[in-house]
């Protein structure tokens, strides 16, 4: 496999992870909105921590995606 193909596979994987994290963020927010009255303090804390981590992973995957895309542009 050439370097270009490897970078293209990395980009596809990062795109998939970005979609996964974004979908998870919407899922956590949707659950919190629909069950707002039933949420306990523990569930709120766990929700905020998981939401924070998901957003961090989403941002990291976007930065890696951008870096790999730039690297691919330099190779072409």
Is residue 2 very low, low, confident or very high in pLDDT (cuts 50, 70, 90)? confident
Output the pTM of the full model: 0.84
Are 50 and 6 in contact by the 8 Å Cβ rule? The answer is no
Helical spans, DSSP H, in 1-76: 3-34, 41-75
Are 24 and 54 in contact by the 8 Å Cβ rule? The answer is yes
Whether residue 28 is predicted with pLDDT greater than 90 in this model: the reply is yes
Q: Tens digits of per-residue pLDDT, 32-68?
A: 999 989 989 999 999 999 999 999 999 999 999 999 9
Measured in whole angstroms, how far is the alpha carbon of residue 72 from the centre of its chain?
A: 21
b/e map 20-35, b = 16+ CB within 10 Å: ebeebbeebeeeeeee
């Amino acid at each position: 496999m050439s370097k270009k193909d490897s970078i293209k596979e990395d980009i596809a994987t990062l795109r998939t992870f970005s979609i996964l994290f974004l979908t998870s963020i919407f899922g956590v927010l949707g659950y919190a909105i629909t069950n707002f009255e039933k949420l306990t303090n523990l569930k709120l804390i766990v929700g905020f921590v998981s939401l924070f981590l998901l957003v961090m992973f989403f941002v990291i995957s976007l930065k890696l995606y951008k870096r790999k895309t730039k690297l691919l542009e330099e190779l072409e």
